[in-house]
Structure 1
Amino acid sequence: MYITITAQKVKGNYAQSASAFVDYLEKENEGKPINELEHFFDQDREEISAMEVINKIDGNTAKLKKVEPKFYSITLNPSRRELQAIGNSPKTLKCYTREVMKAYAKAFNREINGRPVTVDDIQYYAKVEHQRTYKGNDAQIIENQPYATKILILKQEIRRIENGELIGNIKKLQRDMVRLEREAPHQLNGKRIVRGIPKPGPQSHIHIIVSRKDVSTRYSLSPGSKYKASDVEMNGKTVKRGFDRDTFYKNAEKTFDGLFGYNRNYVETYTARKTFLKNPKLYFSIITKLPTNEKALAFKLLEKAGVSTALLHIPTSKLQLTLKAINLLKKGIGKAIESGSIGI
């Protein structure tokens, strides 16, 4: 499970309205029959209109300054293995989202009227999406890029020949383009993978729009707080503040495993992701010391995500990862994390 929390921005400034983001989330519904539309939902209701989402989020910004986030975007990105475990079911994903938002509320070290924050205090709307497209940071796009560059140069040459600026053999250049299209390492349905085309297989994920203010508009609940959960003395009183992202991410993961009986491998865990970012050598060392079946699955998951694990197949007793080897593996896993290929 790969989870992100971001404050929505437009051209470097915080978005003052949720309308553009809501419109973006509605694009997947274009051209679909009514019975196939995916609607917004919240903790208790289904089939919420886009207009209601915009009105409620935009109307819940009392006392927020222009330079402060008005709402946040949370994305829940199950891995392909996780989606297969739940049958890629929209109903199941909605159930999971509602449980995750309970964990989100609990991660705030705040009190409202003397009690802890609960999900009933959170103003949020969510939507299940079923498609993803290839982006510039996907390994397939990066590794196809040298071919894309050569093809572009050939197209420019052909254009110049047609305009009388150059002398050349257009048919030969066209044959070269066909060859490069065929030789590109990553293909889908017989065509070179390029940015913007849909990814194959189950790609369902959840977008959540959550207001900065609680439902009463009196309290600011920011998951982007610079403070971790802590208690401080202010004006002689103990005040609770902060949001614990680590707790939220871990509980979201535990919730999925508990609800659906999912047997999570080490490389799919939030703990593994943190270890990888802080100490990649330790991360690789832990993988090589996993029980045989778990290690085999870890290798399989990494390789499916496009990470070369040849160096990790060295017997543990002889494993001496050089700095170069670590950097190569780190680069591959970093790309896999960014593209959500593995659930870490």
Structure 2
Amino acid sequence: MYIAISAQRQGENFSGSVSDFVKYLEKENEEISPEHQEQFFNQYNDRISAEEVIEQIDKNTTKLNKKDPKFYSIVVSPSQRELKAINNDPEKLREYIREMMKDYAASFHRNNEVKIDDIKYFAKIERERTFKGNDKEIRENQPYATKILKLQGEIRDIESGKAKGNIKVLKKEIKRLEMDAPHKINGKRIVRGMKKEGMQNHVHIIVSHKDATNSNKLSPLAKNKEAETIINGQKVKQGFNRDKFFAAAEKTFDKKFNYKRNFVESYKARNVLDKNPKQFFAMLAGLPTTEKQAAFKMLFKSGVNVPTIPTNKVQLAYKALMKLKRGVETAINSGSIGV
């Protein structure tokens, strides 16, 4: 499960409407008949229009200044393995998001407990994902793409009279490179923006910066996890514990769907990898045999070649360790761990 949180993106001025983002999230509905379109949902309603989302988020901004984002975006991207566990069922995904947003509310550090009804959010399931630059397929196809682009440039120069050459030979070489590229879909070389095959359901969530009463700020990107300040002689709790949220969101999925999570697809593993790569590989080496074999299989399928690691001692050079760390991080961030 990969969960990413980001703020409204408009440079340092966040005075704009949520409408552009909502329009972006409506892209999959453009060529679908109304009865089959995916609607926004929240904790209690399955069918919320784009217009209502815009109205509700845009008006819930009392006392926010131009340097305050009006909303935050949360993207929840289950792996293929997690989607398989729920049969890629959109209804089960909605159920999960509603439980996960309770974890989100509980991760705020406040004098009064923040509950789900304090959160104003709207979520939308998307059924397609496209290849991005950090995907294994794009990275391994890139040398071929670079050569093809160069040859196409040479052909244009010949056609315009800027250079001389045999266009037929160049086109034949392009065709060969297209065939030799290691990753294709239906015979076509995978490029950025191409739709991924398989189960790709994921969720975009728009969360208002202000609570449901439009009175209090609730920022999931607060610098502090848990802090206290004195305001007018009173202790005021502040902060948002992202570690708590990510771990709880994962646990909620596992418990709800009886999901058996492998170490390498866990938030704990990602956290250890980020802070102490050597410890990550030591923990990987110390897994029970069956789980370790499954972990290595997941890593291999996502394009990470992990050498045999002694169970008693991790003997990896620093550069090799960092290379593996980058590979695992890329696989996790692209959602490919757990395929």
Q: What TM bracket, shorter-length normalisation?
A: over 0.9
Asked whether the equivalents of residues 108 and 238 of structure 2 are also in contact (C-alpha less than 8 Å), the reply is: yes
Q: Please report how far the alpha carbon of residue 29 of structure 1 lies from its aligned counterpart in structure 2 after TM superposition.
A: 1.1
Structure 2: which amino acid aligns with 1:330?
A: K
| Alignment partner of 1:172 is 2:166 | no
Between 215-224 and 334-343, the greater mean CA deviation after superposition? 334-343
| Alignment partner of 1:223 is 2:220 | yes
Between 84-93 and 156-165, the greater mean CA deviation after superposition? 156-165
Residue among 150, 154, 159 paired with 1:153: 150
Q: Please report how far the alpha carbon of residue 187 of structure 1 lies from its aligned counterpart in structure 2 after TM superposition.
A: 1.4
Give me the whole-angstrom Cα distance separating, in 2, the residues matched to 1:334 and 1:228.
Answer: 23
| Alignment partner of 1:134 is 2:126 | no
Q: Please report how far the alpha carbon of residue 319 of structure 1 lies from its aligned counterpart in structure 2 after TM superposition.
A: 4.5
Q: Please report how far the alpha carbon of residue 331 of structure 1 lies from its aligned counterpart in structure 2 after TM superposition.
A: 2.1
Give me the whole-angstrom Cα distance separating, in 1, the residues matched to 2:266 and 2:258.
Answer: 15
Structure 2: which amino acid aligns with 1:128?
A: I
| Alignment partner of 1:144 is 2:122 | no
User: Structure 1: any 5+ residue segments left out of the alignment?
Assistant: none
| Alignment partner of 1:32 is 2:27 | no
Q: Please report how far the alpha carbon of residue 338 of structure 1 lies from its aligned counterpart in structure 2 after TM superposition.
A: 2.4
Between 245-254 and 223-232, the greater mean CA deviation after superposition? 223-232
Question: Residues 318 and 71 from structure 1, CA distance in 2 versus in 1: closer, same or farther, beyond 3 angstroms?
Answer: closer
Structure 2: which amino acid aligns with 1:20?
A: D
User: Structure 2: any 5+ residue segments left out of the alignment?
Assistant: none
* Counterpart in the other structure of 1:108: 108
| Alignment partner of 1:86 is 2:86 | yes
Structure 1 runs, 4 residues or longer, greater than 4 Å off: none
Asked whether the equivalents of residues 43 and 98 of structure 1 are also in contact (C-alpha less than 8 Å), the reply is: yes
Give me the whole-angstrom Cα distance separating, in 1, the residues matched to 2:326 and 2:114.
Answer: 39
Map 1:244-323 onto structure 2 (within 5 A): 244-309=241-306, 311=307, 313-317=308-312, 319-323=314-318
Structure 2: which amino acid aligns with 1:43?
A: Q
Q: Please report how far the alpha carbon of residue 295 of structure 1 lies from its aligned counterpart in structure 2 after TM superposition.
A: 0.3
Asked whether the equivalents of residues 123 and 215 of structure 1 are also in contact (C-alpha less than 8 Å), the reply is: yes
Give me the whole-angstrom Cα distance separating, in 2, the residues matched to 1:66 and 1:248.
Answer: 28
Percent identical among aligned pairs is: 55
Between 31-40 and 18-27, the greater mean CA deviation after superposition? 31-40
CA-to-aligned-CA distance 1:255-277 (integer Å, 9 cap, x gap):
00110000111111111101000
Give me the whole-angstrom Cα distance separating, in 2, the residues matched to 1:327 and 1:227.
Answer: 28
Q: Please report how far the alpha carbon of residue 142 of structure 1 lies from its aligned counterpart in structure 2 after TM superposition.
A: 1.7
Structure 2: which amino acid aligns with 1:144?
A: N
* Counterpart in the other structure of 2:66: 66
Asked whether the equivalents of residues 7 and 14 of structure 1 are also in contact (C-alpha less than 8 Å), the reply is: no
Give me the whole-angstrom Cα distance separating, in 2, the residues matched to 1:182 and 1:13.
Answer: 47
Task: Give TM-score, length-normalised by structure 2.
Answer: 0.96
* Counterpart in the other structure of 1:340: 335
Q: Secondary structure of the equivalent of 2:154?
A: helix
CA-to-aligned-CA distance 1:168-187 (integer Å, 9 cap, x gap):
11100000000111111211
Residue among 199, 204, 226 paired with 2:201: 204
* Length, aligned pairs only: 339
Q: Please report how far the alpha carbon of residue 305 of structure 1 lies from its aligned counterpart in structure 2 after TM superposition.
A: 1.3
Asked whether the equivalents of residues 105 and 117 of structure 1 are also in contact (C-alpha less than 8 Å), the reply is: yes
| Alignment partner of 1:125 is 2:122 | yes
Give me the whole-angstrom Cα distance separating, in 2, the residues matched to 1:295 and 1:54.
Answer: 47
Q: Please report how far the alpha carbon of residue 83 of structure 1 lies from its aligned counterpart in structure 2 after TM superposition.
A: 0.4
Give me the whole-angstrom Cα distance separating, in 2, the residues matched to 1:146 and 1:295.
Answer: 33
Q: CA RMSD in A?
A: 1.6
Structure 1: which amino acid aligns with 2:35?
A: N
Map 1:38-53 onto structure 2 (within 5 A): 38-53=38-53
Q: Please report how far the alpha carbon of residue 230 of structure 1 lies from its aligned counterpart in structure 2 after TM superposition.
A: 2.7
Give me the whole-angstrom Cα distance separating, in 2, the residues matched to 1:35 and 1:273.
Answer: 40
| Alignment partner of 1:189 is 2:197 | no
Residue among 316, 319, 322 paired with 1:327: 322
Q: Please report how far the alpha carbon of residue 233 of structure 1 lies from its aligned counterpart in structure 2 after TM superposition.
A: 3.3
Asked whether the equivalents of residues 12 and 67 of structure 2 are also in contact (C-alpha less than 8 Å), the reply is: no
Q: Please report how far the alpha carbon of residue 134 of structure 1 lies from its aligned counterpart in structure 2 after TM superposition.
A: 0.5
Q: Please report how far the alpha carbon of residue 95 of structure 1 lies from its aligned counterpart in structure 2 after TM superposition.
A: 0.3
Map 1:238-249 onto structure 2 (within 5 A): 238-249=235-246
Give me the whole-angstrom Cα distance separating, in 2, the residues matched to 1:314 and 1:340.
Answer: 24
Asked whether the equivalents of residues 265 and 332 of structure 2 are also in contact (C-alpha less than 8 Å), the reply is: no
CA-to-aligned-CA distance 1:85-111 (integer Å, 9 cap, x gap):
000000000000000111111111124
Question: Residues 319 and 240 from structure 1, CA distance in 2 versus in 1: closer, same or farther, beyond 3 angstroms?
Answer: closer
Give me the whole-angstrom Cα distance separating, in 2, the residues matched to 1:86 and 1:252.
Answer: 16
